[in-house]
Amino acid sequence: MTRSRKVTQLISSTALTLLFCGACGVNVPDPQPEPFPNPDPDPINTNGPDPVDPNPVDPDPVTPDPIDPDPIDTNGVDPVEEPGPADLVGVWRLVEELAFANHVEYDARYIQFAEDGLAMTFGRDEVTSVKECNDIEYRIIGDTGLTFESYEYGREFLVYRFDGFDKVIVTNQRGVDYTLIREDVVPIEYLCQTMEELSRIDTELERNGFGDLEFDGEAFWFNTSPGVDIAMVSTVGVVGQSITGPTGFQFMIAMQGGDIWTHDSNGSDEVIKRYTQAGVEVDSVDSRNELGFEINMQTAAVDPVTGELFLFGKASETGRQSIVRVDTSLQPNRLIEAVEFDIYLNSLSHDGQYLWGLDDFRLIKIDPTTYEAVETFNLRPIGFDSVRVATLDERIFVMMDSHGLGTVSIAEMKPSGAIAPLGLDHESSSAR
């Protein structure tokens, strides 16, 4: 065998040994894979973002990034933010006097919406300074409809539209537009106060709606129903002897020195008479023939300090509600003054310093030297239907229909301070 063939055989033998010997201790490197091909033959894309970039950036610097969920316009205003129904919540000033279809003369100047479907309107009579704070239930219908419902207005349908976030145009059922401007707070001069209940006595007596409530320092007096008897109830609820007088001894509207001032009808009597509790007439006031100022009397009050008599009712000549002040110390009785106070009152009392008038849910404290309201109290938040008021010194009593049963309850009240209706703090901003 030649040398060349021996070399060839040796190489072949060695190759076979390396191929079949896995534990011979010879380190043979693994075969290397082929390089991964680049799918982008042009790794730098000159006409747009790299197609394999998972988060492309738009090369146009003016247009927002398309993956930004809250793009900001270049002028600083979010283009997708528009006022909606929720933006009604807060305080609004009415540029024009608010008038509902069935209540044209209401002096609402502010309205406050809460989130729970409650609202309140605020007004103020410029002559008497009496405030009006009225609760409203409201409901939003779609994006433009609004309903108001309240004791004062009944139900009213309105249409509204926003003009920016701080201006709303409201249209009533007659097609009249009203402009609302957003404000931080309701001014303090438009806010009513409220009262808190100190104590209460409940009776089984039913009241006669034409009489008033009086308090002589020891007991309450009021007309009962049926009939026109005048009941006496102590401050702890004990019912005393009722008073029944002769013909003409009808509806008690004031007390003076244990005597009772009465008239024969409700709101249409020009004459009132003073009787003792035994039914003896001791005085009378004829507004037309004696005073020269004819008034259809609704109620009356006596100043316990001066003895002056204050009559309240509609003046025959003007047709407006008025307060007439009378000196009854000498005969004939003398007219001191007659002042227009065109706010309806169904009850009147004098505590020795101020007059107190009650108009449904409003209790009005009146300065008898100026005949302007010192303060207006909204009794509705207390949760009862108040019907008559009696005061003496600094004590205030309100008679109400108890639990809707028609029986009389009498509560002693005291002012609790200025309130922010609907649970909103009037000193904090409610603007958006």
3-state secondary structure 181-198: EEECCCCHHHCCEEEEEE
Residue with tokens 């279809």: 101
- Quick check: bond before 332 cis, omega within 30? yes
Res 48: pLDDT: 57
- Quick check: bond before 83 cis, omega within 30? no
Residues 388, 262: Cα–Cα separation, whole Å: 16
Residues 128, 374: Cα–Cα separation, whole Å: 9
- With beta carbons less than 8 A apart as the criterion, state whether 287 and 295 touch: yes
Residues 350, 366: Cα–Cα separation, whole Å: 9
Domains and CATH numbers, the chain: 85-190 (2.40.128.490), 193-423 (2.120.10.30)
Number of CB atoms found within 10 A of residue 113's CB:
24
Output DSSP code: residue 85.
G
Q: Which helix (H) or strand (E) holds 3?
A: helix 3-20
Output DSSP code: residue 15.
H
Residues 88, 162: Cα–Cα separation, whole Å: 9
* β partners of residue 293: none
The predicted model scores a pTM of 0.74
Res 406: pLDDT: 72
CA 413 from chain centre, in angstroms, equals 21
Residues 97, 107: Cα–Cα separation, whole Å: 6
SS3 category, 6: helix
Res 425: pLDDT: 40
Res 225: pLDDT: 73
CA distances from 424 to 63, 195, 346 (A): 43, 17, 31
In 3D space, the residue among 354, 371, 363, 423 whose CA is nearest the CA of residue 387 turns out to be 363
How many H helices and E strands in the chain?
1, 27
Residues 91, 119: Cα–Cα separation, whole Å: 10
Res 102: pLDDT: 54
Res 1: pLDDT: 47
In 3D space, the residue among 212, 167, 193 whose CA is nearest the CA of residue 432 turns out to be 167
Those residues with Cβ within 8 angstroms of residue 190's Cβ, 6 or more apart along the chain or in another chain: 109, 110, 122, 123, 124, 131, 133
Residues 313, 300: Cα–Cα separation, whole Å: 9
CA distances from 40 to 35, 48, 50, 57, 324 (A): 15, 14, 9, 19, 101
Residues 338, 309: Cα–Cα separation, whole Å: 12
Those residues with Cβ within 8 angstroms of residue 324's Cβ, 6 or more apart along the chain or in another chain: 287, 291, 293, 295, 310, 311, 312, 313, 335, 337, 338
Locate 356 and state its tokens. Answer: 């107190």
In 3D space, the residue among 74, 227, 98 whose CA is nearest the CA of residue 150 turns out to be 98
Give, for all 432 residues of the chain, the pLDDT tens digit: 444 444 344 334 444 343 334 444 445 555 555 555 555 555 555 565 555 555 555 555 555 555 555 555 555 555 658 888 889 999 999 998 776 655 545 578 999 999 888 898 899 998 999 998 888 889 999 888 988 887 666 788 889 999 999 999 999 888 889 899 999 999 999 999 988 899 999 888 888 777 889 999 889 998 887 666 888 898 888 888 788 755 555 788 899 988 989 887 655 689 999 988 888 889 999 999 999 999 998 899 999 999 999 999 999 999 999 999 999 998 899 999 999 999 999 899 999 999 999 987 889 999 999 999 999 998 877 666 668 899 988 899 998 875 556 788 899 999 987 674 554 443 333 333
Half-sphere CA count of 208, side-chain side, radius 13 A: 20
Res 135: pLDDT: 84
220 residue type, one letter: F
Res 293: pLDDT: 95
